Structure 1
Amino acid sequence: MTTGPRPLRDRPRIGLSSVSVYPESTAHAFAYAADLGYESVEVMVGVDGISQQVSAVSSLAEHHRMPVSAVHAPCLLFTQRVWGTDPWGKLERSAAMAQAVGAEVVVVHPPFRWQRDYAREFVDGIAALENSSGIAFAVENMYPWRATSRRGLEMYQPGWDPSAEPYANTTVDLSHAAIARSDPTAMAQRLGDRLRHVHLTDGTDSAKDEHLVPGRGDVGAAGFLRHLAAAGFEGEVVLEINTRRCADRAERTADLRESLEFARTHLQPAGDLSAEQSR
């Protein structure tokens, strides 16, 4: 499936991560995105069988006329056995899916520290995969693991902060920034044009990866989006929120709609925002 050249826009495209509708399926994510006015879908390859099938994802994108902005590789703890156990094999399959569905980005987490061989080769291996596939592997910021102690355990190698490594493409996730007590706007400034992809969400000073509706936490989501707008960010902004506790479909829909409106409001170019406020 090919999407052709992306049209010029006055702001970044706003997409929906399929994990935002869990425990509903990838198919439901495409339907929510189309019904609510999202502009793309990021497919989280996970335990949902549909998310693992190129043909199924392509059919959903075509049926809903909804482009796929990114493929999230199965590198979470609960997806360790999805597409086998070889981490490089997972990334190669993720790139193949991205190529087939017209996505330009694969989102990937840095290795866990116990994946020693993978971690040792990760930085150079990611660069090699980008060169061979033509797909941007946007390495995501993670966080030290915290429990009851205020100190965090370093669980990712070569590290949780992608701005400290020479990756050509990166992802900033605001919930992860909240756990790490890291200013996402400052991270974006450090990354400059290496910031390719954003997981828009929110969080608090909690040890949990909350993935709140943006605006319900205190990580500075509105200011972060205004920074992107002012900086002329040309990548993808994808809502990745947790709706598992929603009581029903109506509540999930309301959270997804609120998230989209938040993104639209704060990604407006400064001139458009000033004009709107003057009315």
Structure 2
Amino acid sequence: MLRISFSRIAAGAVLALASHAAAAAPMAIDTANLLNGITDIYSATFDGALSPCTGSSPSYCAFFGGTPGAVRNITISPTPTGVANGVPGGFASAPAAGSFLNVTVDASHTMAALAGGTITFPTLSLTINGAALGAGSAVVVASGAGMVIDPAVQEGVLNADGQAEYLVNLAPATAADFSTLSQVVTSCTPSPGATLCGLLPILSLDMVRYRLFLDFDPTFTSFTGEFIGQTSNNSMIFATLDSTVVPVPAAGWLLLPAAGAIAARARRRRS
């Protein structure tokens, strides 16, 4: 009986550790994961209008009012960009440092509350083809760019697979604030005769709505994340935001030998 009791205590300790870690906020986005960061930028200015949703479109197509076509006149390098630590620049007030999402999972693992977050990007390069505006092309290098997600709490319902979808529309207010480009651009190299660099002060990637899809691991201590943000003129930013993996189960199982030793000592005392 004593052995069974201590086994239950050990199992309870494992669950307690997992629950404690799952409730922790913020949850860091993995800066070592090469799949993280911006994966695509669709520009309504340079790429044309969104295409209408069809039966084969993603379920969230209507939320964004259409789907981007195949043409891209902004290419980003590296792709994905990666994410970084540090304080992103180009904001009216300095945001918190690092790359993280403030996510809290409830004890029953049925709800996941999102309370904003900060994503910092390493140095990135944008090659912009502005032929549609008669502005030529240019290569733009930005350092210390980032985005800050609005901190108002958004409740996400966790399905049976541990997945939550957030569809947040704050238009005309900003839902995800992107760095002011003119403040983080370190160089703009135009093609001969191009005037595109002169447009940078009026270009904005501030997003008025976004979709965030989080898929948690079985312990709810880490997740894979997919982000799509949309600006007021329908341009879109796509990013992968996978969290750092927290080895809670491994730490929990370390309690089992200790619990066994306690049980053995108790049996010796009884004998």
Scaled to the shorter chain, the TM-score interval is under 0.3
Higher strand share: 2
The higher relative CO (CA closer than 8 Å, separation ≥ 6) is in 2
What's the TM-score, normalizing by structure 2?
Answer: 0.22
What's the TM-score, normalizing by structure 1?
Answer: 0.21
Higher helix share: 1
